[in-house]
Amino acid sequence: MKNILIIGSLGQLGSEIALELRKRYGADNVVLTDIRDDVNRPLVEGGPFYKVDARDGDAVEKIVHDHQIDTIYHLAAILSARAEKDPLQAWNLNMGGLITSLEVARRHDCSVFTPSSIGAFGPTTPKQFTPQDTIQRPTSIYGVTKVAGELLCDYYYHKYDVDTRGIRFPGVISNLTPPGGGTTDYAVEIYYEAVKQHHYTCFLSGDTYLDMIYMPDAVQAAIQIMEADPARLRHRNAFNIAAMSFCPEEQAAYIRTHIPDFTISYDIDPVKQAIADSWPDSLEDYAARVEWDWKPKYDLATMTKDMLETIQRRGV
């Protein structure tokens, strides 16, 4: 990676991947784009930035040409809970944006990173230690676009030799940019409310297990897979990665070790609960560990400590 383009760079994942890539590769060599430019001004003004729709192939191609881009991080998408409100819009962006990046990459010989998700699995997938290669019949429109995206990236690799790589991210927990409308957003909100109110009303039931990852590990994974030796990669576009699996009751218990009077109650959102129930409880990530040395640093205890300390330090 020398010259990198991030599409959808101002979201929860993009804003932190962009910071780290600019630190490692130099601000001028990491070009950012997004459909908006009215958030995170330090990032927008900290290096090259273009306000561009991910589906505008001519505009994306011009940026790739002008900046001699060799690697594209394609992050623009509509996430699971938001996608259920407007499935057609989700399909148009999640698929239209991705194929635009893949076509530009094909013409300009770029590598492409695209995240898939635990949403690419469905109710018939084995729920515990979900294998790398298994049944994928998701019931959400988000999941449908994620499976189609995994297959499309594999297709561009096999047919056109485009260097496509990707990860099935678990729910991402972070404290810089708020999450963008996913089913796992509760696991971020709970920390802010714990500090602010000592109470959180959760939209998933207390025993809903899901895979989660802390942002520093997610950023490291997104960079490590693109720096990996391609000769070692047997799977390309849909590596399971696991860091921790927990339910709201367990997360609340860990918060109580820092904020003893913290309480949690439940007001279940049936749409989000149905999506969560269709996803695995925990993933098996052997392929990522063997093929590109994936190893997370954070578990629920260390993440909880760091999240609460960071939020308290910044003030809410």
Indicate the residue among 11 and 280 with the shorter CB distance to ligand NAD. 11
Out of 50, 73, 142, 200, pick the active-site residue: 142
Number of residues that make up the chain: 316
Residues 13, 141, 190, 287: which binds ligand NAD (CB under 6 A)?
Answer: 13
Q: Does 171 bind ligand NAD (CB under 6 A)?
A: yes
Q: Does 172 bind ligand NAD (CB under 6 A)?
A: yes
How far apart are the C-alpha atoms of 153 and 166, rounded to whole Å? 9
Stretch that binds ligand NAD, among 6-14, 57-65, 156-164, 190-198 (CB under 6 A): 6-14
Indicate the residue among 177 and 263 with the shorter CB distance to ligand NAD. 177
Tokens at residue 298, please? Answer: 């954070």
Q: Output the residue with the shortest Cβ distance to ligand NAD.
A: 11
Q: Does 199 bind ligand NAD (CB under 6 A)?
A: no
Indicate the residue among 179 and 280 with the shorter CB distance to ligand NAD. 179
Q: Does 287 bind ligand NAD (CB under 6 A)?
A: no
129 HSE (CA, 13 A, CB side): 2
Indicate the residue among 8 and 280 with the shorter CB distance to ligand NAD. 8
Question: Interface residues for ligand NAD in 29-68 (CB under 6 A)?
Answer: 34-36, 53-54
Identify whether 266 is a catalytic site residue.
no
Closest by alpha carbon to 314, among 172, 173, 176?
Answer: 176
How many residues contact ligand NAD, by CB under 6 A?
Answer: 26
Q: Give me the residue label for tokens 């699995």.
A: 121
| Inter-residue contact 46 to 27 (CB < 8 Å) | yes
How far apart are the C-alpha atoms of 21 and 68, rounded to whole Å? 16
Residues 11, 138, 143, 296: which binds ligand NAD (CB under 6 A)?
Answer: 11
Q: Give me the residue label for tokens 């989700």.
A: 90
Q: Does 93 bind ligand NAD (CB under 6 A)?
A: yes
- Give backbone dihedrals phi and psi of 254, rounded to 5 degrees, phi first: -70, -35
Q: Strand 244-246 vs strand 210-214: parallel, antiparallel, or unpaired?
A: antiparallel
Q: How far is CA 27 from CA 2, 32, 61, 104, 173, in A?
A: 11, 10, 20, 22, 25
The set of catalytic residues is 142
Residue ranges in contact with ligand NAD by CB under 6 A: 7-8, 10-14, 34-36, 53-54, 75-77, 79, 93, 115, 117, 169, 171-172, 179-180, 182, 184
